[in-house]
């Protein structure tokens, strides 16, 4: 009996140790549908169709990113994979601008036990450390299934409030909406770049998770499903896992960043919205010609 008892204790210890040492890595490819610039032509006659095409192609490339998620049973870090621009490639300033207004460039740390997150962000040349509670996502578990990278995945959906500080949530306005908001001055119609887009109040999120990797983690601030989230889609942005490595020999330290001014998500959003409104008003005064890069 004693041998059986000691054997059970040893097995329990090994199981706890295995859970403690468990770690995984997932690679995600993020793609966001690039906005169209057709609506800029009436008020910016210098923008030719060729220029529009070039702008859209550059925007598309900047909205294609690779991220790495390192996770264990209770925490994770999610960070963009750094890439060097090809020789002669332009658009670095615009990329910095886009990252600034999309709140990117930092390390997103999630602790599902304490239900909190920490992310370091750089905005308009200033560093912030956003610390707040993880969003409560009331997932609806669906019966639909599919395979991703050899893993059996299940579908889940949720409707959540759209972040007003995430550029990816902007949607092109319909022609009818644009007509309703046309501004007329001395008989002339002036169209501003930002006037072509709107921010939805809510967005539908579709996730695909696999119970075969039993951690309630996922990319960005997505979490709370009975398995690792391998795909997220909100209609314009798709984040798809392309590779999973479990229990690699080399471990990664999973801990939050400590650089930047500590701030809540609400206060950070208010800071960004204020700057975006200032930029919007500044840009309104530049009638005609293409808009200057944001952040200049």
- The pLDDT tens digits of the residues spanning 109-134 come to 999 999 999 999 988 888 999 999 99
Return the higher-pLDDT residue of 33 and 107. Answer: 107
Provide the pLDDT confidence category of residue 266 given band limits of 50, 70 and 90: very high
Nearest in space to 237 (alpha carbons), one of 179, 185, 181, 162: 162
Residue 274 maps to a domain? yes
Sign of the CA dihedral with 67 first, then 70, 75, and 77 last: negative
A 10 A CB-CB count for 276 gives: 16
Q: Which residues is 68 bridged to in the sheet? A: 27, 79
Q: Are 155 and 208 in contact (CB under 8 A)?
A: yes
Q: What percent of the chain has pLDDT over 90?
A: 43
Distance CA 296, CA 287 (A): 17
pLDDT recorded at residue 49:
73
| Cα angle: 172, vertex 177, 178; to 5 degrees | 75
pLDDT recorded at residue 42:
46
Give the H or E element holding residue 27: strand 24-32
Please determine, for residue 269, whether its predicted confidence score (pLDDT) is greater than 50. Answer: yes
A 10 A CB-CB count for 236 gives: 18
Provide the pLDDT confidence category of residue 101 given band limits of 50, 70 and 90: low
Residue 107 maps to a domain? yes
pLDDT recorded at residue 18:
44
Residue 192 maps to a domain? yes
Q: What is the pTM of this model?
A: 0.75
Cα-based distances in Å from 16 to 12, 215, 227, 282: 6, 15, 19, 58
Looking at the 3D structure of the chain, how many domains does it have? 1
The least confident of 1-5, 32-36, 198-202, 225-229 is: 1-5
Nearest in space to 30 (alpha carbons), one of 253, 233, 226, 248: 233
Residue 54 maps to a domain? yes
Residue 294 maps to a domain? no
Domain that holds residue 131: 2-83+90-284
- Strand locations in 57-187 (E): 64-71, 75-80, 107-111, 116-123, 126-133, 140-148, 151-161, 171-172, 183-185
Residue 178 maps to a domain? yes
Cα-based distances in Å from 227 to 38, 141, 214, 223, 239: 42, 12, 4, 9, 16
Please determine, for residue 12, whether its predicted confidence score (pLDDT) is greater than 50. Answer: no
Residue 134 maps to a domain? yes
Residue 289 maps to a domain? no
Please determine, for residue 177, whether its predicted confidence score (pLDDT) is greater than 60. Answer: no
- The distance of Cα 290 from the centroid of its chain, to the nearest Å, equals 27
Distance CA 281, CA 269 (A): 18
């Amino acid at each position: 009996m004693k041998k059986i008892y000691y054997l059970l204790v040893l097995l329990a210890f090994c199981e706890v140790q295995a859970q403690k040492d468990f770690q995984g890595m997932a690679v995600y490819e993020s793609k966001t549908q690039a906005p169209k610039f057709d609506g800029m032509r009436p008020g910016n006659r210098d923008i030719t169709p060729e220029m529009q095409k070039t702008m859209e192609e550059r925007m598309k490339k900047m909205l294609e990113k690779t991220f790495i998620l390192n996770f264990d049973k209770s925490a994770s870090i999610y960070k963009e994979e750094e890439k060097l621009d090809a020789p002669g490639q332009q658009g670095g300033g615009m990329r910095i601008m886009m990252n600034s207004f999309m709140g990117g460039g930092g390390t997103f740390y999630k602790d599902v036990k304490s239900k909190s997150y920490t992310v370091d962000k750089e905005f308009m040349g200033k560093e912030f450390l956003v610390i707040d509670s993880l969003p409560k996502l009331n997932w609806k578990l669906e019966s639909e299934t599919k395979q991703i990278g050899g893993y059996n995945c299940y579908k889940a959906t949720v409707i959540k409030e759209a972040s007003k500080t995430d550029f990816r949530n902007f949607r092109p306005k319909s022609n009818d909406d644009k007509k309703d908001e046309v501004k007329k001055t001395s008989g002339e119609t002036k169209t501003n770049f930002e006037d072509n887009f709107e921010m939805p109040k809510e967005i539908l999120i579709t996730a695909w998770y696999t119970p075969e990797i039993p951690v309630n983690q996922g990319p960005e601030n997505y979490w709370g499903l009975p398995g690792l989230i391998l795909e997220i889609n909100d209609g314009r942005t798709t984040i798809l896992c392309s590779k999973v490595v479990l229990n690699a020999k080399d471990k990664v330290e999973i801990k939050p960043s400590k650089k930047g001014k500590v701030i809540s998500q609400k206060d950070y959003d208010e800071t960004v919205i204020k700057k975006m409104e200032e930029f919007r008003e500044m840009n309104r005064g530049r009638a005609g010609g293409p808009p200057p890069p944001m952040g200049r």
